[in-house]
């Protein structure tokens, strides 16, 4: 199929000698200095305006495209020229406008496929996608809008192509004060029945977990207050993703008063498919227990699809004890006393679950910073169970930054990312043993770098063992006749070592 180029303010090409054909109209819109935007028109004849079908718009980039208008595809062609086949062989395209693919679908499968293959649309060709997906122009311009990411994965199915979801990716995140970027290899691909929907980031205070989570939110959503103000892309300036994953919505959640997530306005959240749930209000002031309860009531009163409301009822059993969960959700005014009696931790957990369910959709990523804050262990495990059920039902994923071995105990080692620092050089490691179902003491000792030289319960037992001259019964009496299995085993090992020396 022949393709012609025209300027937006000029007349239509007059040297067309074959139909059907395409006419691409150059547009001056740019994505952070990448010029890729074109209006597309299908010509099926020359008789009347009815022979001209608008296909709306698509983005077209050429191989190795740089910033600047002078690097725009077909820039060396004049108005009305036919685009050489050699130039077309060096491009790829992707539309962020759903109407583009719907209009193509309406003109018939054969003609639509011809157009898509002529413009080398990456939604219908996995091979072309793989050729271009590492280029900055592809990530920053073609995938600028969240809708484009979804169409990249789904639009091809309308034209006989098999979808290709990216659930495995690398994130490179530079942080101030670090001599090298943090490099993560996230994998959310299913491996039999092994848990795969949650990855975790762990490490001592000061290694950069909170900053990493904030940068991940920027990279995956494209939203940053500073980047918006400075009119720059987050990809490339806040870090890099390789390849850009099939994530269409980002939800940031934090129970910390010091999280670093950017908080979008309602409009910004809608534009970037990004939302925030946490202790910080819109003006940075911390929310009170009453404010959290008010948020819960507001979200329950909003219209929620039946499938999500049923999901909410299913997961709430992990967080609150209510005889009639249906009326607790559907008619909260009948449970005023119950809602008032919710603890601060329950209000946080319920607020979090409501926000996630309200904002989640297929292929959403939940970025959860320190869920263990303000929650007792039973409520934390209940929240994790609720989150896992939500992610499974909604085909979504989560990255959790945590200090809690209870979280790590629920995950296989492949999903655990341990951050450590050698002076200013960051390292991201995997545990050397299987963390899923492992004892909390072993997880704490390795993952959280608790060594024998640090002052934990064993150093206290060492001192008591020395003072009592190895009398374990005397030590047990000091604890009211009760001593944990781990403590007993450790004391027995001390006695065995002492006897061996004697």
Check whether 451 has a pLDDT greater than 60.
no
* Residue in this structure with the two tokens 């749930």, named with its chain if needed: 277
> What pLDDT score does 16 carry?
86
pLDDT of residue 495: 79
Name the DSSP class of 235: B
Whole-number Å distance between alpha carbons of 442 and 89: 56
Predicted confidence (pLDDT) at residue 361 exceeds the cutoff of 50: yes
CA 295 to chain centre: 24
pLDDT band at 14 (very low <50, low <70, confident <90, very high): low
- Kindly give, in sequence order, each residue whose CB lies less than 8 Å from that of residue 257, ignoring residues fewer than 6 positions away: 279, 280, 286
Number of H helices, E strands in the chain: 20, 15
- Structure confidence by residue, pLDDT tens digits, 101-128: 999 999 999 999 999 999 999 999 999 9
Burial code (b: 16+ CB inside 10 Å, e: under 16) for 12-50 equals ebeebeeebbbbbbbbeeebbbbbbbbbbbbbeeeeeee
Q: Predicted confidence band at 173 (pLDDT cuts at 50, 70, 90)?
A: very high
Residue 402 has pLDDT above 80, yes or no: yes
CB < 8 Å & 24+ apart, contacts of 288-295:
289/344, 289/347, 292/344, 292/347, 292/348, 292/351, 293/339, 293/340, 293/342, 293/347, 295/351, 295/354, 295/355
Rounded CA-CA distance 14/21 in Å is 13
Least confident of 208-222, 288-302, 372-386: 288-302
Q: Which token pair is 3?
A: 């393709």
| Domain spans of the chain, in order of start | 3-159, 168-284+360-374+389-402+415-447, 457-501
- Residue 453: what pLDDT? 47
In degrees, to the nearest 5, what angle opens at C-alpha 389 toward C-alphas 328 and 438? 125
Pick the range with the lowest mean pLDDT from 78-92, 185-199, 460-474.
Answer: 460-474
Token look-up 């007349």 returns 11
Quick one: pLDDT at residue 29? 92
In this structure, of 52-56, 212-216, 278-282, 339-343, the range with the lowest mean pLDDT score is 278-282
**pLDDT of the residue at 107:** 94
Please compute the mean of the pLDDT values over residues 436-456 and round it to a whole number: 73
Q: What is the mean pLDDT of residues 181-210?
A: 91
Mean pLDDT value of segment 135-143: 96
With beta carbons less than 8 A apart as the criterion, state whether 254 and 368 touch: yes
Q: What percent of the chain has pLDDT over 70?
A: 96
Global pTM exceeds 0.95: no
Got the DSSP string for 269-291? Answer: HHHHTEEEEESB-TTSPBPPHHH
Tokens 């269409």 sit on residue: 248
Residues 6+ apart with CB under 8 A from 439: none
Structure confidence by residue, pLDDT tens digits, 260-286: 999 999 999 999 999 999 888 767 688
* pLDDT, greater one: 32 or 285: 32
Q: Is 244 exposed, middle or buried (0-12, 13-18, 19+ CB in 10 A)?
A: buried
């Amino acid at each position: 199929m022949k393709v012609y180029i025209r300027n937006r303010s000029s007349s239509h090409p007059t040297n067309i000698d074959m139909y059907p054909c395409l006419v691409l109209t150059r547009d001056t819109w740019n994505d952070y200095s990448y010029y890729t935007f074109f209006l597309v028109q299908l010509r099926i004849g020359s008789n009347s305006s009815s022979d001209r079908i608008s296909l709306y718009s698509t983005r077209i980039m050429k191989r190795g495209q740089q910033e600047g208008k002078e690097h725009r595809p077909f820039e060396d062609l004049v108005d009305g020229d036919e685009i050489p086949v050699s130039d077309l062989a060096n491009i790829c395209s992707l539309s962020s406008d759903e109407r583009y693919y719907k209009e193509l679908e309406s003109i018939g499968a054969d003609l639509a496929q011809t157009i898509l293959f002529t413009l080398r649309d990456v939604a219908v060709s996995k091979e072309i996608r793989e050729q271009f997906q590492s280029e900055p122009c592809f990530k920053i311009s073609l995938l600028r809008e969240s809708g484009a990411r979804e169409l990249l994965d789904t639009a091809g199915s309308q034209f006989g192509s098999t979808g290709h979801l990216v659930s495995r990716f690398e994130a490179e995140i530079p942080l101030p004060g670090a001599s090298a970027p943090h490099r993560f290899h996230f994998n959310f691909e299913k491996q039999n029945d092994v848990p795969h929907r949650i990855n975790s980031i762990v490490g001592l205070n000061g290694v950069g977990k909170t900053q990493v989570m904030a940068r991940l939110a920027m990279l995956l959503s494209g939203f940053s207050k500073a980047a918006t103000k400075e009119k720059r892309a987050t990809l490339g300036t806040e870090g890099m993703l390789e390849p850009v994953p099939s994530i269409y919505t980002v939800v940031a959640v934090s129970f910390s008063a010091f999280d670093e997530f950017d908080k979008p306005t309602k409009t910004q959240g809608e534009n970037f498919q990004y939302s925030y749930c946490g202790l910080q209000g819109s003006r940075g002031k911390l929310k009170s227990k009453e404010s959290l309860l008010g948020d819960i009531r507001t979200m329950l009163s909003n219209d929620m699809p039946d499938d999500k409301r049923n999901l909410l009822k299913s997961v709430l059993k992990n967080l609150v004890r209510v005889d009639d969960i249906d009326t607790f959700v559907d008619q909260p005014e009948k449970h005023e006393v119950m809602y008032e009696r919710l603890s601060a931790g329950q209000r946080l957990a319920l607020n979090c679950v409501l926000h996630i369910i309200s904002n989640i959709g297929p292929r959403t990523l939940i970025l959860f910073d320190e869920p263990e804050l303000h929650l007792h262990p039973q409520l934390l495990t209940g929240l994790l169970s609720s989150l896992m059920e939500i992610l499974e039902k909604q085909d979504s994923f989560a990255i959790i930054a945590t200090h809690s071995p209870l979280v790590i105990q629920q995950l296989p080692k492949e999903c655990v990312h341990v951050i450590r620092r050698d002076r200013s050089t960051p390292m991201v490691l995997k545990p050397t043993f299987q963390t899923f179902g492992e004892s909390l003491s072993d997880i704490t000792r390795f993952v959280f770098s608790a060594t024998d030289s640090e002052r934990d319960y064993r150093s206290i037992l060492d001192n008591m063992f020395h003072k009592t001259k190895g009398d374990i019964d005397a030590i047990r009496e000091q604890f009211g006749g009760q001593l944990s299995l781990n403590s007993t085993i450790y004391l027995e090992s001390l006695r065995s070592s002492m006897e061996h020396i004697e």
